[in-house]
Structures are given as structure tokens and as C-alpha cells.
């Protein structure tokens, strides 16, 4: 079957078909708008990244925000203004075309969700690639741990906390966390496996008490979907890459472009390259 015939397939079928492909093929099909689904599970072994694109006049304050809040905002790469090429994490890739689906915001409001941003690109735009939890989730699985939301076929639940990030210029706001349930006896392995990847959010920021983070109700996450707990499981919270997007949205820049949730940029770097 030709790829072009796949456009009518539902995302799940399309995704299963992509799983056997290597990184170059996956990126080529995303670039050619032949795949527009989520990227979890694609190009196994390669790190994926959150994307934030901002005008240069916001770039220093935003980068400073990320450096001040490295747990939620670990910066993998910053591009030259006007260049869509991430020369460190994926030379030859193009941030304008190589994400399956984007979100374009004007003054903090979403205005479109296109499959490429060629029509939006400008010479003053700077791209930021920020670490993604897929890397430590792969490490959790490799350690023999299960991941509740994956097993339950849901998106990871994410919560806005009462913990304020350290502000920088117009960028300010609360830390967002993701949550995965584990039993107390699993915690040493959970912490050591995820902690080996500090640029992919690293070790959990909190275990056990949602109140301590200002989270009222685990059943009602602000983003993603709630997951069912098994007996004796505790909530384990990680700093989340949604934080910089939420904060940038609140700053209401005239233009901001991000990936669409779950539709990440796939880098050329292996997970192991970020392991310490």
C-alpha cells in the first residue's frame, strides 16, 4: 500500500503502521504530511522533545526562565534566530515540518493547529527543544516497572501545582506535574531509573501527598486523563514539560508556536546520550 493511501486511516492504524519504521523514515513521513498522529512509541530508542517557538525579543527571558527552572524546563537545544535546523539534536531536520501537528498561539490564544508552520515562519523566530518524559518512561519500563496510563490506554494525568516557578521577565506561573502511581517498595527503582535522565525531568519532585503540591483532586487533572490506582499505590509526581508552554501562553506573546500535545519532535539523539 502506498503511504499516500493511508491518509484516510484512523490515527491508531496509521501509528501501528509507523512502528516498524526507522527514524529517517518516520521523520520523512511526518515531513511529507503522511503522518499526523502522536509520536509515543515511534522510532524507539530516540529521545523526543517538546517544542516552543518564540520571537527573538522573548528568547532571552524564556531561556533564562528555563535555566531557572531546570526540572520542568530542561533545555536540550536553542536554535539560531531564523534557522529551523536543530543543529545539535537533529542536524538536517526542520522544525517547521518535522512535528506531526503544531499549535499556533497569538497573544496567548490558539488560532490554528496546522501540520506544518512553513507559512508562519519568520526570520526572528527562535526554537526551543525541551526534554520529554518518554525517555524516563522507557527507563521505567526497562527496569521492569509498569506505567499505569500506558496500561490503561490513557494520556498521562497532569496537574497545575501551587508551586510557583522562579519567574523571568514576562514568564511566570505554577509548575505543572505529571503523575504515575507506584507502590512504596517500587520507589527506590522508580527514583533511580528516572533520576538518571536529569535533562528529561529526572527524578520525581514529590511522592505521596497531593495536598503538599496544592492538588485538590487526583481524579480531575488539568491536562490528560485520570488513571485508576491499584491497592497500596502512591501518587508519584514529576516536573512536566507542559510547564514552559503554560507559562509562555500566559505571557501572551504576539506569536508562539508549540507542538500539539503528544505530537513531539523526534531527535537524532539516543536516550542513552542523556543518561548520567
Verify binding: residue 253, a copy of itself, rule CB under 8 A.
no
Contacting a copy of itself within 103-162 (CB under 8 A): none
* CB contact at 8 A, 240 and 65: no
Each residue 68-97 as x (binds a copy of itself by CB under 8 A) or -, in order, gives x------x-xx-x------xx---------
Contacts for 162-168: CB closer than 8 Å, 24+ residues apart: 162/213, 162/214, 163/213, 163/214, 165/65, 165/68, 165/69, 165/72, 165/73, 165/243, 165/247, 166/65, 166/68, 166/69, 167/65, 168/61, 168/62, 168/64, 168/65, 168/68
Each residue 158-197 as x (binds a copy of itself by CB under 8 A) or -, in order, gives --------x-x--------------------------xx-
Q: What's the CA gap between 43 and 270, in Å, rounded? A: 10
Measured from the CB of residue 27, what is the shortest distance to a copy of itself in angstroms? 22
Measured from the CB of residue 215, what is the shortest distance to a copy of itself in angstroms? 25
Stretch that binds a copy of itself, among 59-67, 132-140, 220-228, 235-243 (CB under 8 A): 59-67
Which residues touch 56 (CB under 8 Å, ≥6 apart)? 81, 124, 125, 126
Q: Scanning the structure block, which residue is given the C-alpha cell 522544525? A: 95
Verify binding: residue 202, a copy of itself, rule CB under 8 A.
yes
# residues contacting a copy of itself (CB under 8 A): 21
Q: Scanning the structure block, which residue is given the C-alpha cell 498521562? A: 156
Binding residue for a copy of itself, selected from 42, 54, 63, 158, defined by CB under 8 A? 63
Residues that bind a copy of itself (CB under 8 A): 56, 59-60, 63-64, 67-68, 75, 77-78, 80, 87-88, 166, 168, 195-196, 198, 202-203, 276
Amino acid at each position: 500500500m502506498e503511504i499516500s493511501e493511508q491518509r484516510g486511516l484512523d490515527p491508531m492504524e496509521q501509528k501501528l503502521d509507523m512502528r516498524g519504521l526507522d527514524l529517517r523514515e518516520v521523520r520523512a513521513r511526518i515531513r511529507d504530511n503522511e503522518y499526523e498522529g502522536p509520536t509515543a512509541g515511534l522510532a524507539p530508542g530516540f529521545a523526543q522533545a517538546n517544542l516552543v517557538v518564540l520571537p527573538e525579543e522573548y528568547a532571552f527571558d524564556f531561556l533564562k526562565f528555563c535555566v531557572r527552572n531546570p526540572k520542568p524546563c530542561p533545555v536540550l537545544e536553542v536554535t539560531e534566530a531564523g534557522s529551523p535546523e536543530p543543529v545539535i539534536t537533529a542536524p538536517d531536520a526542520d522544525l517547521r515540518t518535522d512535528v506531526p501537528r503544531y499549535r499556533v498561539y497569538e497573544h496567548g490564544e490558539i488560532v490554528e493547529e496546522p501540520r506544518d508552520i512553513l507559512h508562519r515562519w519568520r526570520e526572528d523566530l527562535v526554537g526551543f527543544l525541551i526534554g520529554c518524559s518518554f525517555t524516563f518512561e522507557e527507563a521505567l519500563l526497562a527496569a521492569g516497572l509498569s506505567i499505569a496510563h500506558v496500561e490503561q490506554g490513557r494520556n498521562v494525568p497532569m496537574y497545575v501545582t501551587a508551586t510557583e516557578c522562579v519567574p523571568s521577565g514576562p514568564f511566570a506561573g505554577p509548575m505543572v506535574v505529571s503523575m504515575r502511581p507506584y507502590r512504596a517498595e517500587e520507589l527506590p527503582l522508580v527514583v533511580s531509573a528516572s533520576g538518571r535522565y536529569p535533562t528529561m525531568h529526572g527524578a520525581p519532585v514529590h511522592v505521596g501527598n497531593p495536598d503538599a503540591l496544592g492538588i485538590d483532586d487526583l481524579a480531575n487533572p488539568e491536562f490528560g486523563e485520570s488513571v485508576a490506582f491499584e491497592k497500596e499505590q502512591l501518587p508519584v509526581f514529576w516536573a512536566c514539560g507542559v510547564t514552559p508552554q503554560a507559562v509562555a501562553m500566559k505571557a501572551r506573546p504576539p506569536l508562539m508556536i508549540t507542538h500539539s500535545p503528544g505530537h513531539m519532535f523526534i531527535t537524532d539523539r539516543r536516550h542513552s546520550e542523556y543518561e548520567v
